[in-house]
Structure 1
Amino acid sequence: MSDETASEETASEESIGVLFVRRDLRLANNPILHHLSVDIPGVIKYTPTHLLVVYVLPPDQVETSGLLKAGEASPYPPALSENSHAWRTGLHRVRFLAESVWDMKESLEEFGMGLIIRVGSFPEVLESINSHYSRLKYGPQVSEVYIAKGYSVDELREEREVFATCTYLGIRYVSFDDRKPLVNLKDTPMSLMDNVPDEFSAFESQVDPLIDGGGASLQEPTWLPPFPNHVPIPPQSGPFEIPNTLVGLIQKLVDPVRLDFSFFNGLDLNGAMPLTRCVGGETRAVAQLRYVIKQGIATRFHESNDLEDSQECLRLAGYLSFGCITARQIHEELLKLENGTEPDYEETDGYNEGVTPGTKALRAELLRRDFLLVSSKKHGPDLYDINGSGPGRNTNIVWKSPNPAKARPDQQPSTLYIDGVMVQFQVGATGYGLVDAIMRQLIFTGHVGTRSHKLIVNFLAKFAGIDWQMGAEWVASLSYDHDTSLQWYTWQHYAGIGPDLSGREAVVSPVHEAFELDPNGSFVRKWMPELRRLTRLSNLFQVGTTSSELLLRFGLPGHVMVTNPVSSDTLNL
């Protein structure tokens, strides 16, 4: 526990602790639930008699108009991104979010507990809850609020708002360090953000020796303070109502943010869509972790091709982003494979063989996530700055923009033209097969791999020279595993303007990358049915190199990928 702030004690014999959950949607390795469930010898602590777990849907981040009562109007503006006006939480992520919250709700109900979902800002929700209990003259009163510390600008702002509201209302505020990272930096020089290096290699060399000394993850609680359903539960305030089923919640959250798929009418995507998709929640996260280890996917991680979206993918990023599982839990499960202590993994490659190249690479990826989390906290709002942050900040780059208010008066091509290019990028019609296939995969599945992400950032920012914020907001909207703490740093880095100067590497050829990542063209053909009959890889990866005779034969001469492929000022293909 850290930076605990106390105020007046409630005079009621019964008390309610309000736990705000955000990106810590799990029972296991949850420091707040652990604190409430155990007695530590020699430590005096105050535990409320009842616990109200609350998930807040902030209207500035999640579009909540689908939750309005019939005939009501929303008091909030649409939850759109600042530059691209894409939904801040789009189709795939809002579904994954709803599933993750509901899974925690059901897990808590097995304890006789519960979880409520409320629309509003954190101060609005807290004030509404406190006001509700204050009107119960002889009932329990809110005595404290618990929250796990976050990393992103939005999370830190929410914490300040909750603290200020608690101070105003006379409620005790208790915050905990979340156990999301693989390595605890609290007792290292990097507990001070200024000491966090800007290069991942330097960070990795310092923290890699700390992995084994990070302490065991916390077990799922066996007891928690009861749910306060012996008195009326605080209702949803304002014009909103919360569905009482997961299906209903998903429908209400998804309806306002549905995509227009008319561009893809008539395209045969049979065989492209995965047979299964990632379902949110701690229950699925634990099952997926055991699956990828048992099937040897973790052992082969160093050889993985992140273009895949099948069950052979690791697919743990979404669970890590929402805190359905933690890096430390993944590390401990890998130890069971490496040390041969889990009989269920006995037939898996690498069983009882110690650290393998695959498990080593997987831990390096977890450390990279740690690095991005603390870097996000270090650089804060600068990660949203179009000019970049840290040592890589560059005010001399002039980005092409579709927004007349941001573009230079003499911008060429025009803002209207760049707007059209952005649409091509979004729907996967740039003329470069691998870039387009990646964007199609993102639209239909919400998935984009690490190397795929690097390619599309490099393509938009360095190859095409277009405002990288436009792409960042679009990908953030659609990615089910988007984590603000990670993704904005990543976009600046691959655009060459981030804190780590290694991101300034030269522009990458989308055609060269295609030959390396998709050597037989199977991924592009899967997602680009218009191009499946092109036999030459050079044509498949750059449609404009196809002869006019073949274009005519396959009905492509008028396609925008042929008539207006995205051009580059930095690379001549």
Structure 2
Amino acid sequence: MTTLVWLRQDLRLADNPALYHACRSDESAVVVFIDDPTPTSTTQLGAASRVWLHHSLQALDSALRSFGNRLIVRQGEALSTLQALLAETGATRVFWNRVYEPASLARDKHLKQTLKAVCEVHSYNASLLQEPWDVLKADATPYKVFTPFWKAALKIGVVQPPLPLPTRIPAPTVLPASLSITDLGLLPDIRWDVPMMAHWEVGETTARHKLQQFLTQHAADYKTARNIPAQPGTARLSPHLHFGEISPRQAVYFAEHYLAENLHAEAGVRHFIQEIGWREFSYHLLYHFPHTVDRPLDVRFERFAWADNYAEILQRWQHGKTGFPIVDAGMRELWHTGWMHNRVRMIVASLLTKNLLVPWQAGENWFRDTLVDADLASNVFGWQWTAGCGADAAPYFRIFNPILQSQKFDPEGEYIRRWVPELARRDNKLIHLPRELGDGLKDYPLPLVDLGKSRERALRLFTGIKVSG
């Protein structure tokens, strides 16, 4: 007998519940990835994420081949594709790991109800430490503030041993037909992705190595170093987590294991685990408040007076030509590498939404298209947090000053010089300043906005909706 194992955001072999349980019996496993082009499907990734997916699928297929199996690739609507595979293979079971975006939840519920009429169906948690419905307040309502959410999660328990790599992944005697990964058309016709991917290695093996390297080399200093964009102080695991090349359960378990033998690193390791907690919290919010995909959690922001006719401003921000050095450095880092340092993400988002009054959805859409780690829950949560309309106790007055942030977190201007070469010759004092506040530099744009006046305008508008709400 045969089991279909449908993989999506879980492109790994170890700690993969659907695959693990499929391989526990003597049945053979057909491991399948379906590129579902239907409009409601969350497989509609941005351009950078599609590039990563191409390479991740290749790495997964290579790993399966080492077990004498292979990845079956199909393209089409998920239900009809699975039904066709059931007929072709004679499979009696379908296993998958759950995904939690609203469109996928609705689709998977319908899939399970339909397929149960003809075969055995099981779904598992492979991408979160705990299910979103398991961490609730005493009155069974969801949390909207991180600290009490994380305390509750820690009380339940977040450290669990990950499932091992299967000892065998038996293939049926005859595997069904498969597209090639190239047939999915994930790579662009104009190969802008080649220099971007020169910054990355993809796949489960790389993800595990990167975690171990981070723990041994950077974890002890993580709490402070994570804010310095010029330094390699972060784990850079976000794209690997996004595609499930490594699980949060693995990240937390191995971090705790490292900490047990390296107590000097406790502050950094605890903070790293808490960052995994923020990822959990973003999924908690998206599950319980699915409208936040494109609407604010704080409903008062439905009537906020965002700017009109902001296309030119948005384009300058997208291309790293705002006139604020650290913002432009971050946007260019994103363009060249498909990634941006988290501290800088907050700075660029604050300028766009609060100083320029461009709707947060425009920034979230750009990030979703250009980030290799464009995780829907984390992306939406981050943008709403910075814009002031998300889950936070008192967010509206938090407006990052890009000059002060630059001076504090990139004091030598190393990060700016790396990504904004036209400023490379400026001294450490001037490099943080817009052109109008510095020397007579001509090949760098004037700032898009007056920081002081735009801050006052934002506070006035934010206070207005708070009072009227």
TM range (shorter): 0.7 to 0.9
Q: Deviations over 1:450-487 (max 9, x none)?
A: 22111111111111101211111111111111111211
Which of 213, 223, 227 is 2:168 aligned to? 223
State how far apart, in whole Å, the 2-side matches of 1:451 and 1:539 are. 18
State how far apart, in whole Å, the 2-side matches of 1:275 and 1:155 are. 28
Q: Deviations over 1:296-328 (max 9, x none)?
A: x11111121445477554111111111111222
Which of 203, 209, 217 is 1:287 aligned to? 209
Residue equivalent to 1:89: 46
Cα offset, 1:17, TM superposition: 1.9
Residue identity in the other structure for 1:143: T
Larger of the two Rg values belongs to structure:
1
Q: Is the 8 A contact 2:53 2:186 kept in 1?
A: no
Which of 121, 128, 132 is 1:181 aligned to? 128
CA spacing shift, 1:147–1:260, aligned 2, 3 Å: closer
- In the alignment, is residue 206 of structure 1 matched against residue 152 of structure 2? yes
Summarize the alignment of residues 494-509 of structure 1 with structure 2, pairs less than 5 Å apart.
Answer: 494-509=386-401
- In the alignment, is residue 59 of structure 1 matched against residue 37 of structure 2? yes
Summarize the alignment of residues 340-419 of structure 1 with structure 2, pairs less than 5 Å apart.
Answer: 340=261, 351=262, 353=263, 356-385=266-295, 388-389=296-297, 391=298, 393-401=300-308, 415=309, 418-419=310-311
CA spacing shift, 1:32–1:117, aligned 2, 3 Å: same
Cα offset, 1:122, TM superposition: 1.1
Residue equivalent to 1:31: 17
What is the CA RMSD across the aligned residues, in angstroms? Answer: 3.2
- In the alignment, is residue 315 of structure 1 matched against residue 236 of structure 2? yes
Q: Is the 8 A contact 2:135 2:142 kept in 1?
A: no
* TM norm structure 2: 0.87
State how far apart, in whole Å, the 2-side matches of 1:97 and 1:393 are. 37
State how far apart, in whole Å, the 2-side matches of 1:210 and 1:544 are. 54
Residue equivalent to 2:463: none
CA spacing shift, 1:502–1:317, aligned 2, 3 Å: farther
Residue equivalent to 1:328: 249
Secondary structure of the 1:142 match is coil
State how far apart, in whole Å, the 2-side matches of 1:183 and 1:486 are. 16
Q: Is the 8 A contact 1:98 1:249 kept in 2?
A: no
Residue equivalent to 1:437: 329
Residue equivalent to 1:254: 187
State how far apart, in whole Å, the 2-side matches of 1:565 and 1:424 are. 8
Residue equivalent to 2:373: 481
- Please say which of residues 153-162 and 281-290 is displaced more in the overlay: 153-162
Which of 447, 450, 472 is 2:364 aligned to? 472
Cα offset, 1:114, TM superposition: 1.7
Summarize the alignment of residues 70-109 of structure 1 with structure 2, pairs less than 5 Å apart.
Answer: 88-91=45-48, 93-109=49-65
Residue equivalent to 2:77: 121
Which of 98, 102, 111 is 1:153 aligned to? 102
Q: Which runs of 5+ in 1 are unaligned?
A: 1-14, 39-46, 64-77, 80-87, 134-139, 237-241, 262-272, 341-350, 402-414
Q: Aligned pair count?
A: 455
State how far apart, in whole Å, the 2-side matches of 1:191 and 1:482 are. 33
CA spacing shift, 1:90–1:190, aligned 2, 3 Å: farther
CA spacing shift, 1:420–1:276, aligned 2, 3 Å: same
Cα offset, 1:198, TM superposition: 0.3
CA spacing shift, 1:397–1:322, aligned 2, 3 Å: same
Residue equivalent to 1:239: none
Residue equivalent to 1:410: none
**In proportion to residue count, which structure has more helix?**
2
State how far apart, in whole Å, the 1-side matches of 2:424 and 2:39 are. 39
Secondary structure of the 1:364 match is helix
CA spacing shift, 1:309–1:56, aligned 2, 3 Å: farther
Secondary structure of the 1:570 match is helix
- In the alignment, is residue 520 of structure 1 matched against residue 412 of structure 2? yes
Residue equivalent to 2:353: 461
Q: Which runs of 5+ in 2 are unaligned?
A: 458-469
State how far apart, in whole Å, the 1-side matches of 2:114 and 2:358 are. 41
Q: Is the 8 A contact 2:220 2:264 kept in 1?
A: no
CA spacing shift, 1:533–1:221, aligned 2, 3 Å: same
Secondary structure of the 2:74 match is strand
Residue identity in the other structure for 2:128: P
Residue equivalent to 1:143: 92
State how far apart, in whole Å, the 2-side matches of 1:106 and 1:384 are. 37
Residue equivalent to 1:404: none
State how far apart, in whole Å, the 2-side matches of 1:275 and 1:535 are. 32
* TM norm structure 1: 0.72
- In the alignment, is residue 234 of structure 1 matched against residue 118 of structure 2? no
State how far apart, in whole Å, the 2-side matches of 1:308 and 1:249 are. 37
State how far apart, in whole Å, the 2-side matches of 1:116 and 1:156 are. 23
CA spacing shift, 1:318–1:307, aligned 2, 3 Å: farther
Secondary structure of the 2:220 match is coil
Q: Is the 8 A contact 2:221 2:233 kept in 1?
A: no
- Please say which of residues 150-159 and 463-472 is displaced more in the overlay: 150-159
Q: Is the 8 A contact 2:364 2:383 kept in 1?
A: yes
Residue identity in the other structure for 1:231: V
CA spacing shift, 1:354–1:59, aligned 2, 3 Å: same
Residue equivalent to 1:3: none
Residue identity in the other structure for 2:111: V
State how far apart, in whole Å, the 2-side matches of 1:318 and 1:532 are. 30
State how far apart, in whole Å, the 1-side matches of 2:414 and 2:137 are. 44
State how far apart, in whole Å, the 1-side matches of 2:204 and 2:193 are. 31
Residue equivalent to 2:6: 20
Q: Is the 8 A contact 1:476 1:482 kept in 2?
A: yes
Residue equivalent to 1:171: 119
- Please say which of residues 489-498 and 435-444 is displaced more in the overlay: 489-498
Cα offset, 1:197, TM superposition: 0.9
Q: Is the 8 A contact 1:17 1:48 kept in 2?
A: no
Q: Is the 8 A contact 1:61 1:89 kept in 2?
A: no
State how far apart, in whole Å, the 2-side matches of 1:464 and 1:177 are. 40
Residue identity in the other structure for 2:47: G
State how far apart, in whole Å, the 1-side matches of 2:193 and 2:438 are. 30
CA spacing shift, 1:450–1:249, aligned 2, 3 Å: farther
Q: Is the 8 A contact 2:135 2:153 kept in 1?
A: no
Q: Is the 8 A contact 2:54 2:187 kept in 1?
A: no
